[in-house]
Structure formats: structure tokens, C-alpha cells
């Protein structure tokens, strides 16, 4: 029987600090290389709200595209961003830095340099989330190699890579939930009350991003209370430590209520409900379809299955039994949390997450679902089949994300909407209409345009050269995402243009590649040192 590893008590020592630094630089460099360089979709409303706040004005959304239908109306008739205020606040640090740089370089205010800088926010958050997952794996007693594999699987084998280049709030929710799990597990190992405070801050931040993460509180509180009871602490001690966890959550809820009152005229107003809260409005967003439709869509549909957009989860399923045996309390908490939120999101009218890449709502749960993979790859000797399946799933995940890195996912969603034989929710159950397949069709069409100069148009099921008048096709641009990211810097940043601008882009790309290679080399050296130390200890015994 495999001996259970001792949790890492010295994760702040220099090798762990170096491993975290290398991981952060590697993930950040790659994500910045594939960043969109712009703020779009629903995140643009939060971007404008943050801009208004920095200018000393209320965070209202004025005269924006789609604002009349997608931005909720406040008490004064002004419109506000539908995301929580936490996402607006998250953009402000990048804006402050960008304003300082823009002033030093004399960038004209009408340029999109500010958008370009803010678009890196999710790249930084994604890198931090991967570091947090690594620390959680080490806290659970897994090897450094295992933590690195889990982190890289999350970074590049799941939807995290795709969402690192967009301005949805799901990567920030992912970071908050991993941080809550890490601080909670650290508290269970050490009993330090300050970790409860940090766990509460993480949960409060998740709630400020999306209010439905409020339902996370009873799950985390029950998990922490179990640790207190396990250590035979008295009722007063349990209540005091639970209060430490709930304090930042309560402060966050008060802040959210005040924001709702000032914005919408009610302490319990929710932006997504377009005004004053009522139970009828809340229930109207659920059960418009049979709940099993959304649940099946999130789990097994060709167009939105979390296992198709995050292939390493398929391998992780086979480690659940061993992980449950090793960490029964944590596994039970994770299982309950995942099942609850899959049912919760599956019952929603827009279970698919709207026009987004994969099951967007489930992204914050993916790191927890990925943890059982550690049980399969953590041994001294890992079976060849396990190595092969893990590597294959990681490469499959990379291939799944590639189309979205080159082609904006909204292009294919437009094509799906124009294919009006089925409702959008039903289209996700048609295999040959899957956005993964459609994304690759778009990518191949873009390559064809680039090398032949012949324009192509996209129907959801095929590429054609001539478009019939009876249907409206979608014109395929040349690499409408990744290439335009760097061209957009030259065209709209206002720093330079022409040959100097091209040289600047080349230097930025080269610098990112060099940093990524440096970080990868550092990680490989650390893993070799760990393996050498492990072999030496075995020979000593």
C-alpha cells in the first residue's frame, strides 16, 4: 500500500519560491504572447466603469454598443456594468500603471493603449491561479513534479488559456476558489487562525465578482468546522474561528449591498436581474428548460462538455477513488461543491454561458476537478500508460484551445446564430456544429486566405468559396485574434508606427519567448534536482 505523503510544511523555502516564480513567468509569458490586446464582450462594461471611477465619476456605462439590452438600469436611470464591482476594481491597478506609462511615453489619450494594458489582467490572474494550484498540491503532500504537471495542465490544457486572453471574470473566480481551498487546507494542517481570515477574503472576493458564489460559504464553513471538531476544540473556540472566516465575507456582503443601494436603489438588487430583486425574477432565470438539458450539456454535449474543452479531466476521473481514499474530507467537500454547482448552472436558462468558449461557468471548478489527477502521476514509478494518457490529454487540451487563440470565438457564434434550423441551446448537441470543430474550420479558412488570397465564407457545417444569396455567411478574416493582437498594438497604441513599431513588436515577442524558455529551463532543473534527491534517499535506505 502506498504510504501517504506528509504535507509540505516548508513551502516558502527557496526551492518552492523558485518553482512558483518559474511557473508564474512561464504561464504569464505564454498568455501574454496570445493576449487579445483589447477589451471586449461584457468585460468592456466593467472597463468603462473602472475608467469612470478613476476619473472621479460614478461607474456608469454611457452610449456603449448593446448597453440598452445588456447593461442594467440603475435607480437614477443610468446604466451599470452587469458584473460585480469586484471585477471593476480588479481592472483598476492595470489602469493606474498604464496611465503612468502613457504619461511617460506621451501616448495620445485617444489610443487604445489603456485597453491593451488592461487586457493583460487575466493573463496575470491565470498565472497566479496556476501558482496557487501548485501550492495546494504541495500542501496536500504531492511531489513538486506533480504540482507542476497539474499547474501546466490547468494553464494550457483547459479553458483557462482561452479565457486568459478575454475579459470575463471567470479566471479571477478561479483564482479566488483555489486560494480559498489552499488557505483552508493550510489551516487544517497548521491550525493558524490567520489562514481563516485569508480564506474568508478569498471567498468574499469571489462573491464580489459573481454573487452566486455566495452559495460557496456553507460548503467552506462546513469544511472548516469539521477541522475544528477533528481537533476536539470547544464550542466557543469553534465559534470564534468560524467568526474569523465569516468576518471578511460579511464585510464584503455589506459593501456589495451598499453598492447595490447606490446603483439600483435597493440593498438586494442584482445587476443580472435588471433592477430590484424579487424571488419571481430569480426563479424566472431558472427552469425555462428541463434541468437535465443543461446538466447534460455541461457534461456530455459535443458543443459545451467540460470534458471536451478540458481533456485532462477525463484522465483525472480515474484518480477519484484513490484521491477520496487519501483525502476523504477534502474529496467529499469538492464532490459536493462540483455537483451542486453543475446542477445550479444546469438549471439556468443560459446554462451554456452565452457566446463563450466552452462551459464558461464551470471554469472556476476545473482546478478542483483536476486534483485527482495527482494520485495517478505522483508515484515514484508512474506506469507508462498513465504517462501516455496524461501527456495525450494535455496535448489534446492544447489543440482544443488553439482555434480560439487565432480566431475570435464570437465569429463562429455568429455563424451558429444564423443557422436558424435549431435553437442555439440545441445546436450544442449536434456533433458537427461543435465550436471546437467550427473553430478549426475557421482556422483552416484563415490559413487558406493567407496563402492563396482567395476569400472564403463560413457556414456552420462547411467552408465555401461562393456564398448563395439565400443565406448570410460569415467572412473569415486572416488570423482574426492572435495576429491582430500585435497589429492592434502598432495601429492603436500611439507609441510608434512603421518600421520602429515592427521592431518594438519583434522585441516584445522575442522577450516573451526568452522569458518562457528561461522559466521552463528553471523548472526542468528543479524537477531534476528533486528526482536526484529522491533517488539518493532511496539508495541510502
Greater confidence (212 vs 158) lies with 158
* 3-state DSSP of 256-306: HHHHHHHHHCCCCCEHHHCECCCHHHHHHCECCCCHHHHHHHHHHCCCCCH
Name the pLDDT band for 124 (thresholds 50, 70, 90).
very high
How far is CA 434 from each of CA 65, 279, 474, rounded to the nearest angstrom? 28, 35, 16
Where do runs of H (alpha helix) occur along 106-215? 113-118, 121-139, 144-156, 159-163, 170-190, 193-209
Provide the CA 243 distance to its chain's centre, in angstroms. 29
How far apart CA 317 and CA 332 sit, in angstroms, is 14
Helices and strands of the chain, counted as H and E runs: 26, 5
Q: Under a CB-based contact definition with an 8 Å cutoff, are residues 463 and 444 in contact?
A: yes
Cell digits of residue 332? 467529499
Across 372-389, average pLDDT: 86
Q: What is the pLDDT of residue 314?
A: 94
Q: What is the pLDDT of residue 237?
A: 80
Across 152-161, average pLDDT: 93
Residues 6+ apart with CB under 8 A from 402: 443
Place of cell 503532500: 141
How far apart CA 304 and CA 15 sit, in angstroms, is 39
How far apart CA 30 and CA 536 sit, in angstroms, is 35
Q: What is the pLDDT of residue 466?
A: 44
Q: What is the pLDDT of residue 431?
A: 82
Name the pLDDT band for 272 (thresholds 50, 70, 90).
low
Across 404-430, average pLDDT: 69
Percent of the chain with pLDDT over 70: 72
Name the pLDDT band for 3 (thresholds 50, 70, 90).
very low
How far apart CA 93 and CA 124 sit, in angstroms, is 12
By residue count, the chain amounts to 541
Q: Which backbone phi and psi does 270 adopt, to 5 degrees?
A: -125, 130
Average of per-residue pLDDT values in the chain: 78
**Is the pLDDT assigned to residue 491 strictly greater than 60?**
no
Where do runs of H (alpha helix) occur along 371-456? 373-377, 384-406, 409-418, 424-427, 435-452
Choose among 219, 184, 204: nearest CA to 255: 204
What is the residue extent of each domain of the chain?
43-118, 409-479
Q: Under a CB-based contact definition with an 8 Å cutoff, are residues 425 and 297 in contact?
A: yes
Q: What is the pLDDT of residue 513?
A: 86
Per-residue pLDDT of 506-533, as tens digits, reads 777 788 889 989 999 988 888 888 777 7
Name the pLDDT band for 496 (thresholds 50, 70, 90).
very low
Crossing angle of helices 14-33 and 121-139, in 10° steps, is 150
Choose among 420, 312, 293, 400: nearest CA to 357: 400
**Is the pLDDT assigned to residue 27 strictly greater than 70?**
yes
Cell digits of residue 60? 456608469
How far apart CA 303 and CA 435 sit, in angstroms, is 6
**Is the pLDDT assigned to residue 247 strictly greater than 70?**
yes
Across 250-278, average pLDDT: 71
Choose among 474, 409, 522, 318: nearest CA to 40: 409
Q: Which long-range contacts (CB under 8 A, 24 or more apart) does 260-268 make?
A: 263/59, 263/74, 263/75, 263/80, 264/72, 264/74, 264/75, 264/80, 265/74, 265/75, 266/75
Amino acid at each position: 500500500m502506498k504510504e501517504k505523503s506528509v504535507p509540505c510544511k516548508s513551502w516558502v523555502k527557496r526551492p518552492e519560491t523558485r518553482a512558483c516564480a518559474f511557473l508564474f513567468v512561464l504561464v504569464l509569458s505564454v498568455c501574454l504572447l496570445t493576449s487579445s490586446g483589447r477589451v471586449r464582450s461584457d468585460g468592456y462594461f466593467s472597463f468603462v466603469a473602472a475608467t469612470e471611477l478613476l476619473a472621479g465619476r460614478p461607474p456608469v456605462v454611457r452610449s456603449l454598443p448593446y448597453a440598452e439590452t445588456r447593461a442594467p438600469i440603475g435607480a437614477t436611470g443610468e446604466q451599470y456594468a452587469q458584473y460585480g464591482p469586484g471585477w471593476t476594481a480588479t481592472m483598476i491597478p492595470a489602469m493606474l500603471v498604464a496611465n503612468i506609462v502613457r504619461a511617460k511615453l506621451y501616448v495620445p489619450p485617444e489610443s487604445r493603449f489603456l485597453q491593451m494594458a488592461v487586457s493583460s489582467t487575466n493573463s496575470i490572474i491565470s498565472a497566479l491561479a496556476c501558482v496557487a494550484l501548485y501550492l495546494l498540491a504541495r500542501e496536500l503532500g504531492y511531489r513538486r513534479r506533480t504540482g507542476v504537471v497539474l499547474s501546466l495542465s490547468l494553464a494550457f490544457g483547459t479553458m483557462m488559456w482561452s479565457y486568459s486572453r478575454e475579459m470575463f471574470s471567470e479566471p479571477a473566480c478561479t483564482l479566488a476558489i483555489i486560494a480559498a481551498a489552499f488557505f483552508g487546507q493550510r489551516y487544517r494542517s497548521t491550525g493558524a487562525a490567520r489562514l481563516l481570515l485569508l480564506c474568508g477574503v478569498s471567498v468574499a472576493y469571489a462573491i464580489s465578482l459573481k454573487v452566486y458564489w455566495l452559495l460557496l460559504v456553507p460548503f467552506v464553513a462546513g469544511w472548516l468546522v469539521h477541522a475544528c471538531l477533528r481537533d476536539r476544540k470547544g464550542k466557543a473556540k469553534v465559534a470564534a474561528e468560524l467568526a474569523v472566516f465569516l468576518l471578511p465575507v460579511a464585510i464584503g456582503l455589506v459593501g456589495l449591498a451598499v453598492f447595490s443601494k447606490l446603483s439600483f436603489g435597493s440593498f438586494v438588487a442584482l445587476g443580472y436581474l435588471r433592477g430590484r430583486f424579487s424571488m419571481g425574477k430569480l426563479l424566472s432565470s431558472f427552469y425555462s428548460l428541463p434541468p437535465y438539458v443543461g446538466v447534460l450539456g455541461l457534461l456530455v454535449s459535443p458543443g459545451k462538455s467540460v470534458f471536451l474543452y478540458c481533456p485532462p479531466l477525463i484522465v483525472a476521473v480515474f484518480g477519484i477513488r484513490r484521491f477520496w481514499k487519501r483525502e476523504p474530507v477534502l474529496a467529499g467537500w469538492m464532490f459536493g461543491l462540483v455537483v451542486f454547482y453543475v446542477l445550479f448552472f444546469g438549471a439556468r436558462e443560459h446554462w451554456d454561458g452565452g457566446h463563450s468558449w466552452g462551459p464558461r461557468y464551470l471554469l472556476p471548478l476545473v482546478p478542483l476537478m483536476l486534483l485527482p489527477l495527482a494520485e495517478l502521476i505522483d508515484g515514484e514509478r508512474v506506469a507508462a500508460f498513465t504517462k501516455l494518457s496524461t501527456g495525450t490529454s494535455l496535448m489534446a487540451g492544447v489543440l482544443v484551445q488553439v482555434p480560439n487563440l487565432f480566431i475570435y470565438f464570437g465569429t463562429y457564434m455568429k455563424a451558429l446564430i444564423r443557422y436558424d434550423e435549431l435553437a442555439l441551446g440545441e445546436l450544442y448537441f449536434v456533433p458537427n456544429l461543435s465550436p471546437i470543430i467550427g473553430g478549426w474550420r475557421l482556422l483552416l479558412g484563415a490559413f487558406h486566405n493567407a496563402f492563396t488570397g482567395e476569400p472564403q465564407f463560413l457556414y456552420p457545417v462547411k467552408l465555401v468559396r461562393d456564398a448563395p444569396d439565400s443565406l448570410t455567411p460569415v467572412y473569415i478574416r486572416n488570423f482574426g485574434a492572435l495576429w491582430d493582437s500585435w497589429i492592434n498594438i502598432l495601429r492603436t497604441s500611439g507609441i510608434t508606427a512603421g518600421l520602429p513599431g515592427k521592431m518594438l513588436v519583434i522585441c516584445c515577442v522575442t522577450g516573451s519567448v526568452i522569458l518562457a524558455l528561461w522559466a521552463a529551463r528553471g523548472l526542468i532543473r528543479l524537477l531534476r534536482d528533486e528526482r536526484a534527491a529522491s533517488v539518493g534517499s532511496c539508495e541510502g535506505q
